[in-house]
Structure 1
Amino acid sequence: MGRLVPAVTRALDILELFLEGDGVHTAPEITRKLGLPRTTVHELVTTLAARNYLVQLPDQPGRYRLGVRTYQLGSRYAEQLDLAAEGRQVARGVAETCDETVHVAVLEDADVIYIAKVDSTHAVRMVSAAGRRLPAHCTAVGKMLLASLPEDELRSRIPSGAELTAMTPHSLTSPEDLHEALAGIRGRGIAVERRESNPDVACVAAPVRDSGGQVAAALSISVPMIRWSEERRAELEELAAKGAADLSERLGFRGRA
């Protein structure tokens, strides 16, 4: 691995500082927050502004925000993003932490499609595959995605009186019961499913957001019932939420939902 260049590192530290707060800073603020010499900050800010990575606010001299060049770089990065590939990388890290099966899924009509999967190393584990399609109302990822829809869109996908497929005796088959469950999921920001898609498996899921803050996918952790407990559920909910947040950040999401 090559040597890090101090000047480049400091320039990037300055740019990353603008991701915090309201995204506006002065040179003295940058000097104080980063602990850099005043002259160094002045030279780096001047260079970044000359290259359109920073721009002075027109009505507030001495105050800077990110410039158009950073937007252009971000847009090019977004064009090259592959949700499935990014999802596999994040899912791999989550699976290594909990040693359970991790999925990333998207919503299509009233179904979910798994676009990424990393298996547990346990002999007893959930059997599934990327590309598999399941009824959304029977899965934690599906419920998370359905709960994220505007109410009118949700009603159009699963109208009152619809016949919901049961995958197990525990599956929700009433649209009214499903809508009630989704309201609870919206309140908690996490979805839990026990034995609704597989009689021997429980799942937790959290939302994945794109750069605009919209829910684009969901990440789930699936656990055989023999390893399920309320204590384990709380651990996995936290881990799923962290994994989903990591994937959201890779997709360009900043801030809080």
Structure 2
Amino acid sequence: MGRRVPAVSRALDILELFLEGDGTLSAPEITRRLQLPRTTVHELVTTLAARSYLVPVAEQPGRYRLGVRTYQLGSRYAEQLDLAAEGQQVARLVAESCGETVHVAVLEGTDVIYIAKVDSTHAVRMVSAAGRRLPAHCTAVGKMLLASLTAEELDARLPAGELPAMTANSLTDVVELRRVLAETAERGFAVERQESNADVSCVAAPVRDRAGRVVAALSVSVPMIRWSERRQGELAELARHGARQLSERLGHSQPG
């Protein structure tokens, strides 16, 4: 490994400061927070501004914000992301932490398509595969994705009549589904109890892109012999943590 260049490290330290607070800083604030010489900060800020990595804030003399160059770099990074590949990596991490089957899925029409899957390490596991398509309303990932739609988008996707069933527990009434989706949106994670497979229950959480849009959902699936209300809570937290990790990989900045 080559030697690190101190000036480059300091320049990057300055840029990373702008990720905090209101996104604006003055040279004296940078000097104080990084404990660097005033002359060094002035030279680095001047160089970053000359290269459009920082720009002066017009209405606040002496303060800077991130420039267009940082947006261009971030956009190019986002373009190179592969949701399926990133989802597979995060799914593997979540599966290793709980030993259960983990999926990542996207919404297409009224169906979900599984784009990533990592199997359970237990002898009793669910049978599924990446690329499989299922009715969204019968799955935890699907409910999470449907719950993230606007009212207009949901109206356009749901049929007027009954919904198809996969098991005796599947939701078939559109009014009841809407109630469940509202509850899911408020709670922040979805639950499926034996609705796509009579022997399996699942929990799922939303995955967001850099613009904050829900683009996928991550679920943890468990055979009923290992399911309980307490286990549901534990797995819901794991699913939410995994979904946050995947969201961060896609460029989403978590609030707080």
Report the TM-score, using the length of structure 1 for normalisation: 0.94
Letter in 2 for 1:69: R
* Rounded Cα–Cα distance in structure 1 between residues aligned with 2:198 and 2:92: 25
* Rounded Cα–Cα distance in structure 2 between residues aligned with 1:63 and 1:248: 31
* Corresponding residue for residue 152 of structure 1: 152
Tell me if 1:167 matches 2:173: no
Change (3 A) 1:39 1:186: same
| Residues 191 and 204, structure 2, Cα contact 8 Å, conserved in 1 | yes
Q: Counterpart of 2:219 in 1: which secondary structure?
A: strand
Tell me if 1:221 matches 2:226: no
* Rounded Cα–Cα distance in structure 2 between residues aligned with 1:36 and 1:185: 49
Letter in 2 for 1:167: M
Letter in 1 for 2:28: P
* Corresponding residue for residue 203 of structure 1: 202
Letter in 2 for 1:59: E
Question: Cα deviation per residue 1:152-184 (whole Å; 9 max; x = unaligned)?
Answer: 2112211332x3111111111111111110010
What 5-or-longer segments of structure 2 have no aligned partner? none
* Corresponding residue for residue 133 of structure 2: 133
Question: Cα deviation per residue 1:188-228 (whole Å; 9 max; x = unaligned)?
Answer: 11101111111111111111111211111111111111212
Change (3 A) 1:10 1:98: farther
Alignment of 1:57-76 (within 5 A): 57-76=57-76
| Residues 189 and 236, structure 2, Cα contact 8 Å, conserved in 1 | yes
* Corresponding residue for residue 212 of structure 1: 211
* Corresponding residue for residue 39 of structure 1: 39
Tell me if 1:26 matches 2:20: no
Tell me which stretches of 4 or more aligned residues in structure 1 moved more than 6 Å.
Answer: none
Question: Cα distance, 1:61 vs. partner?
Answer: 2.3
Change (3 A) 1:33 1:146: same
* Rounded Cα–Cα distance in structure 1 between residues aligned with 2:158 and 2:240: 26
Q: Counterpart of 2:84 in 1: which secondary structure?
A: helix
Change (3 A) 1:77 1:233: same
Question: Cα deviation per residue 1:86-120 (whole Å; 9 max; x = unaligned)?
Answer: 11111111111111111110000100000111112
Report the TM-score, using the length of structure 2 for normalisation: 0.94
Letter in 2 for 1:173: T
Alignment of 1:81-160 (within 5 A): 81-160=81-160
* Corresponding residue for residue 187 of structure 1: 186
| Greater mean alpha carbon deviation, residues 216-225 or residues 104-113 | 216-225
Question: Cα distance, 1:34 vs. partner?
Answer: 3.1
Letter in 1 for 2:249: R
Question: Cα distance, 1:134 vs. partner?
Answer: 0.3
What 5-or-longer segments of structure 1 have no aligned partner? none
Question: Cα distance, 1:233 vs. partner?
Answer: 1.4
* Rounded Cα–Cα distance in structure 2 between residues aligned with 1:236 and 1:4: 41
* Rounded Cα–Cα distance in structure 1 between residues aligned with 2:199 and 2:9: 50
Change (3 A) 1:147 1:4: same
| Residues 190 and 237, structure 1, Cα contact 8 Å, conserved in 2 | yes
Tell me if 1:52 matches 2:60: no
* Rounded Cα–Cα distance in structure 1 between residues aligned with 2:215 and 2:156: 19
Over the aligned positions, Cα root-mean-square deviation in angstroms equals 1.7
* Rounded Cα–Cα distance in structure 1 between residues aligned with 2:21 and 2:204: 29
Paired positions, count = 256
Question: Cα distance, 1:7 vs. partner?
Answer: 2.8
* Rounded Cα–Cα distance in structure 2 between residues aligned with 1:231 and 1:7: 52
